[in-house]
Structures are given as structure tokens and as C-alpha cells.
Amino acid sequence: MESTPQNLLCFFFFFLLHRTTASSPPPLFPKQALPTRSGYLPVNPTTNSAIYYTFYEAQTPISPLSQTPLLIWLQGGPGCSSMIGNFFELGPWRVNFHKHPSEPLALEPNSGSWNRIFGLVFLDNPIGTGFSIAAKPEEIPTDQFGVAKHLFAAITKFVELDPAFKSRRIYITGESYAGKYVPAIGYYILKRNAELSESKRVNLGGVAIGDGLTDPVIQVATHAANTYFSGLINERQKSELEELQVAAVRLIKARNWREATNGRNRVLRRLQNMTGLATLYDYTKNADYETSLVGELLSHKEVKKALGVSNVSIVFEECSDLVGDVLHADVMKSVKYMVEFLVKNSKVLLYQGQYDLRDGVFSTEAWVKTMKWEGIQKFLSADRNVWKLGGETAGYVQKWGSLSQVAVSGAGHLLPTDQPLRAQAMIEDWVLDKGLFANVHEAI
């Protein structure tokens, strides 16, 4: 059949339309990636200061929904946004950080998301962090009591958003400097609950700390030995680092808090220079974590609008220098006593990636064995059980009573990024007391 001019014209427009449609890039923020709820939780009744949150309901809730646990995630820093945890680590959609540099930025589903069977809340904490609002710099907390007071107000407001939230157990989780935030809010909740009527209490189920800075006076003194026995420095370098560590500890004991933080920073800088590592967060990596992709994602006004950010003109910072400076003198103060209180009155999970040189397994064990808790000797005597997942060794679990510690294989500081399925299985089993976390009878 011969082609007519009309047929050729129709074919041309069909080809053009098909080519345009096929080459159109996918939306930067697909509708499926939208949180269930997002917005602001006020922390001060007299100002506009508020904590920004995103909430993702469980993909497959435990039946009934009123019994489905809620996880709250806090990023570290101090001053780093929990949107890093959301879009780089454990949220239902993550930036495509494995992409080639020439490929466009996009969101992709995360099979290791922590909202598979639990509700999941990300809080930008403290105010002034991420999309959270500090009405004035003076309102940014300067210590863990101030942090916890704001978090308690925000969590209380969140629970009030839906009557069904009231009966759901809440588990506070977080990593790195949240090794102080998490115990602080857990401790605060238990203390406040004792003063409140049952209807106003926060239904705390437990706390989980990942690669946390919790007891700095002990942890700062572990870097030299940890790095030496990892085969990364020699004995002379170990001695040099030990001198810097002793100086930092001396400043802590003198309660010279700001200088003590500077002392720790000197230890970490020297360690970085000695090893030449791409990052102390994972000594196996040849490049640092590409968390800047989260900042790139959240720089787009349409993304901010989709996430319910009140001022789409705000410039998103992964980590706030202002908040970091305000809390600078707080960094080297210990919250170990809060963990001791929590392990006696709740349950505690401490987990670390085995490749983390900053706040990893060795660092955590050093302070854990000094805990004042009647069960500590039983815990230290307990077996470290091999944890298998999918036929592979996923890590090692040590548990006694209300305290659990997990060393996760093949992971660094941002553990859910490195091993999403292992992190997901760990948090689910711990919350539900399953597998190696099962509550078997343990005689004291």
C-alpha cells in the first residue's frame, strides 16, 4: 500500500509523541514515596520553634494496627538531619547512591526499610536541624536535658495526631551522636511517666543505639588500640595516638568541656592522617558515604513542598554548623547512667557495624563492661552467638536479660545503608523478641 502525505504526517506526529514520552525522565519524587504524614511538632508554646517529622505507616502492619509498634529515628551529628536516615539508610525510598556519576538522581524502593511491619517516624532533632525550626538560636538546646525536653514535647504531639497511636509501643532508635539523644529521651520518658497519669504517659518499649557515642571518656581512649589491632598503624603510631587520647581524657576530667571536644577531634584527625582512609566510618571503603545526594534531593522546591516543609525557600543543610556549635561543649559528657537506668526499667539494644573505627564494636564494649547494673556480669559471661540470615553469617548477637549487643558483618557506621536486610531483620527480631533475641528464662 502506498503512503499518502496524510499518513506520513500522522506517522511523524506519532513518532514524535512516542519519543517525547519515552525520553521523559521519571519524577524526582514519585507519589509512592510520599510519607503517610509529615509536618511540624511544636516544642515551645510561646514561639514557632518546632521539630520537623516524616511518618511512614507500616507496609504490612501487625494485626491489629493498634498493636503495631512505632519506631522513632534520630540522626546524630550533633545537628545532622534525620532525612539522611530517611533517604540514605532505612526509609522506604532511598537515593540511588550506587548510580554512575552520569546517571540522574532518583529515588528507589528500599527492600530493607524499617517500616516493613512497623510504623516509622523520622525527627529532625534538635530544633535548627534539617527542616526543623528554631525561632531564635537561644532556643536550641545546649545539653541532653534540653534535647530530651523538646523531644518529649514533639513525641507527645505526634501521639495526639491519631487516637490509635496511643496504644502502640514506641521504640526510640538512632545512630552516632544519637548514642546520647536516644538514652536521654528514653530516660526522660521513664522519669516523666512516673509523674503523669496513665493517659498522658508515652508508651515506651525500649531504645536501640547504633554505632553510638555514649560514654566519651572511655570511648575516646579506644581508638589507638582498635586501629593498631586492625593492622592499620604500627606500635609507634599507637603510642602517639595514646598520648592525644590521654590529653583528651585529662580535659574531660577537668570538666573543660569545649576543649575536651577539641581534644577528641585532634585524635580523630591524627588517626585519619595516619591511616589515609577514605573514612573512619568504614575502613574497607575507598570513598566516603555519598550522603550529599540527600542534600541534592532536598534542594528542590517541589520535593520540599511534597514533604510538607513550611518554607520551601529554606536551604537544606545535611548537618547544621550552628547546632553543632551550640552542643559543642556537650559532646564529651557521658550519658552512661541513663543507659543503666533504661536497662533496669526497659530494654536496650546496642548495635555496631564491624568496620566502624569511630564508634564501633571495640568502642562500645569498652564502656558496656563498666556499667553499674546487677546483670552486667551475666551479660559479659553470655555467649556471642553466630547470627545467620539467608544462609550467611550476618553477625554476632550477645544477650542477657534486657541488654542485647549486635556486631553486624559487612557494615560500617551507617549500618542500614551497608546491610539493609540485616539491619531490618535485626530491628524486627529485637522489637518482637524473636530469634536470638527471644526472652528465654535466664536465672540471675
**If you average pLDDT over residues 53-66, what whole number do you get?**
92
CA 107/CA 406 separation, integer angstroms: 29
Q: How many C-alpha atoms does 349 have within 13 Å on its Cβ side?
A: 28
Sequence-ordered alpha helix ranges (H) in 290-414: 292-297, 301-306, 321-326, 336-345, 361-368, 376-381
Average pLDDT rounded to a whole number, residues 269-282: 96
Which distant-in-sequence residues (6+ apart) come within 8 Å of 5 by Cβ? none
> What pLDDT is stored for residue 160 in this prediction?
95
Cβ contacts of 40 within 8 Å, gap of 6 or more: 50, 51, 52, 53, 132, 133, 310
Domain that holds residue 193: 52-216+289-353+420-437
pLDDT band at 181 (very low <50, low <70, confident <90, very high): very high
> So what's the pLDDT on residue 64?
87
Would you say residue 233 lies in a domain?
Answer: no
**For this structure, is 321 an active site residue?**
no
Cβ of 21: how many Cβ atoms within 10 Å? 8
Among the options 81, 113, 132, 176, which is catalytic? 176
Task: List beta partners, residue 348.
Answer: 207, 403
Whether residue 341 lies inside any domain: the answer is yes
Range 60-73 average pLDDT: 92
Q: What is the pLDDT of residues 96-142, one digit of tens each?
A: 998 888 889 999 999 999 999 999 999 999 999 999 999 999 999 99
Output the nine-digit C-alpha cell for 67: 498493636
Pairing of strands 170-175, 70-74: parallel
Active-site residue (options: 124, 356, 418, 429) = 356
CB–CB of 413/175 below 8 Å? yes
pLDDT at 13 over 80: no
Alpha helices in 213-353 (DSSP H): 216-219, 223-229, 235-253, 257-275, 292-297, 301-306, 321-326, 336-345
Indicate the average pLDDT of the chain. 92
Residue 237 lies in a domain: no
Three-state secondary structure call for residue 328: helix
Q: What pLDDT shows up at residue 1?
A: 44
pLDDT score at 443: 44
Classify residue 376: in a domain, yes or no: no
Q: What are phi and psi of 406, to 5 degrees?
A: -130, 130
For residue 2, the 8-state DSSP code is P
The number of domains in the chain is 1
Asked whether the predicted pLDDT for residue 2 surpasses 60, the reply is no
Global pTM reads 0.91
**Among 226-235, 265-274, 333-342, 432-441, which stretch is predicted with the lowest mean pLDDT?**
432-441
CATH of the domain at 183: 3.40.50.1820
Q: Is residue 13 part of a domain?
A: no
pLDDT at 203: 95
Catalytic-residue membership of 356: yes
Catalytic: which of 132, 413, 418, 429? 413
Alpha-carbon 107 to chain mean position: 19
What one-character DSSP code corresponds to residue 277? -
- The string of pLDDT tens digits covering residues 292-309 is 999 999 999 999 999 999
Answer yes or no: 176 catalytic. yes
Question: Would you say residue 409 lies in a domain?
Answer: no
Q: Position of cell 528514653?
A: 186
Whether residue 425 is contained in a domain is answered as yes
Domain annotation covers residue 87:
yes
* DSSP classification of residue 112: T
pLDDT value for 45: 85
